């Protein structure tokens, strides 16, 4: 009996030792895996996380002119490539801009030199090219536009369609409507909580027609406690989100506008006002009537909302777009305006147009 008891006890001890051995082995394997993970490089997300856009309107205009003038040449000068080359050369500081630098880049590209050769020693050229293309990518290209028929009298109202190459985007304010502005990006705001102003304010008269800067889809429409009645339009390449806020009380938008609508650059989308700074819809709590115009860049969908949002200073862009303002006319018997000359942008789907 004593022998049986001992043998039974020994078996129990052996089983416990085996369990302890396997637990120790498992912990060792896991610790080795953890150590290996700490040694091996972690795959980082590769999208851009910040853009400081400081290109002056005059420099954009110079680059645009070179692009348009060479659009049918053997060596077409892409304006964004020119600007990215300058950005890489200046480290993004365009206070260093010199006309001779732009002329040098244009001459080298016109001679057939490859941009890869020109930027071989520019480590950050790919960054500036991607960043500037995200900001300016939808602005220039071929499009069709209505013009007055040159063979008919102006009174006839007859129009024809022509194909053009050039600036497709428009100023956010319609032609003939006065406004004032200054560079207020980053200024302090305190309603709700202390924060920086991430847009550009354009002061004007209530009811001034607000224009779609770029073609895209309406992604947001309705009330926001900060922006009041507002519209959010996403570019078709999904890189840009245009935000138009503080729209007119009672009649903020075009009647046809809804979430999902496709709009064409130059369309009237809403009307300047002073709504916002209230949890109660349709409230005028803004002292000075103005359009808050914002431009957000989105390289990854995780940047759309939250702490990773990228809003850029668009003061110089607004100044640049003054060269292309949409001409509008009042629609009789309504509170609405519409554009005079239609534009056909091939990027806009043929259905759902405003």
76 located within any domain: yes
- Comparing 113-117, 153-157, 308-312, the range with the smallest average pLDDT is 153-157
Residue 241: both structure tokens together: 């989100």
145 located within any domain: no
Considering the domain architecture, whether residues 179 and 127 belong to the same structural domain is answered as no
Three-state DSSP state, 139? coil
Distance CA 83, CA 105 (A): 10
Q: Do 221 and 258 touch, CB atoms closer than 8 A?
A: yes
The number of C-alpha atoms within 13 Å of 250 and in the hemisphere containing its C-beta is 4
Considering the domain architecture, whether residues 131 and 181 belong to the same structural domain is answered as no
Tens of pLDDT, residue by residue over 255-272, are 999 999 999 999 999 999
- Note the pLDDT of residue 1: 46
Tens of pLDDT, residue by residue over 45-85, are 699 999 999 999 999 999 999 999 999 999 999 999 999 99
Predicted TM-score of the model (pTM): 0.84
Q: Which domain holds residue 116?
A: 57-136
| Of 243, 245, 246, 247, residue with least CA distance to 295 | 243
Tell me the C-alpha to C-alpha distance, in Å, between residue 95 and each of 80, 87, 91: 18, 11, 11
7 located within any domain: no
Considering the domain architecture, whether residues 197 and 119 belong to the same structural domain is answered as no
Q: Do 291 and 246 touch, CB atoms closer than 8 A?
A: yes
Residue 197 banded pLDDT, cuts 50, 70, 90: confident
Alpha-carbon dihedral sign for residues 108, 110, 112, 116: positive
Structure-model confidence comparison of residues 98 and 7, the more confident one? 98
149 located within any domain: no
């Amino acid at each position: 009996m004593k022998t049986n008891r001992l043998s039974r006890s020994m078996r129990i001890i052996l089983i416990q030792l085996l369990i302890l051995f396997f637990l120790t082995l498992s912990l060792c394997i896991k610790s080795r895996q953890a150590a290996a993970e700490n040694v091996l490089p972690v795959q980082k997300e590769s999208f851009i996380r910040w853009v400081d856009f400081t290109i002056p309107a005059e420099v954009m205009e110079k680059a645009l002119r070179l692009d348009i003038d060479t659009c049918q040449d053997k060596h077409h000068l892409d304006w964004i490539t020119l600007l990215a080359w300058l950005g890489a050369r200046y480290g993004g500081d365009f206070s260093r801009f010199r006309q001779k630098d732009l002329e040098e880049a244009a001459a080298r590209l016109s001679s057939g030199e490859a941009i890869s050769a020109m930027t071989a020693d520019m480590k950050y050229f790919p960054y500036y090219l991607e960043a500037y293309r995200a900001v300016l990518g939808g602005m220039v290209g071929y499009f069709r536009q209505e013009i007055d028929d040159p063979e008919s009298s102006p009174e006839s109202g007859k129009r024809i369609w022509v194909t053009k190459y050039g600036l497709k985007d428009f100023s956010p304010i319609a032609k003939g409507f006065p406004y004032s502005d200054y560079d207020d990006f980053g200024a302090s705001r305190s309603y709700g909580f202390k924060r920086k102003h991430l847009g550009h304010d354009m002061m004007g008269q209530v009811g001034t027609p607000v224009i779609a800067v770029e073609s895209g889809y309406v992604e947001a429409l309705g009330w926001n406690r900060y922006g009041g009645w507002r519209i959010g339009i996403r570019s078709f390449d999904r890189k840009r989100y245009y935000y138009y806020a503080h729209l007119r009380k009672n009649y903020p938008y075009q009647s046809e506008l809804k979430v999902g609508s496709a709009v064409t650059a130059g369309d009237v989308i809403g009307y300047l006002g002073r709504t916002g700074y209230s949890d109660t819809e349709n409230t005028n709590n803004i002292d000075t009537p103005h359009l808050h115009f914002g431009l957000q860049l989105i390289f990854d969908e995780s940047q759309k909302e939250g702490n990773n949002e990228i809003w850029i200073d668009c003061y110089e862009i607004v100044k640049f777009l003054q060269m292309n303002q949409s001409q509008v006319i009042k629609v009789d018997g309504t509170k609405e305006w519409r554009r005079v000359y239609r534009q056909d942008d091939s990027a806009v789907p043929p259905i759902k147009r405003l």
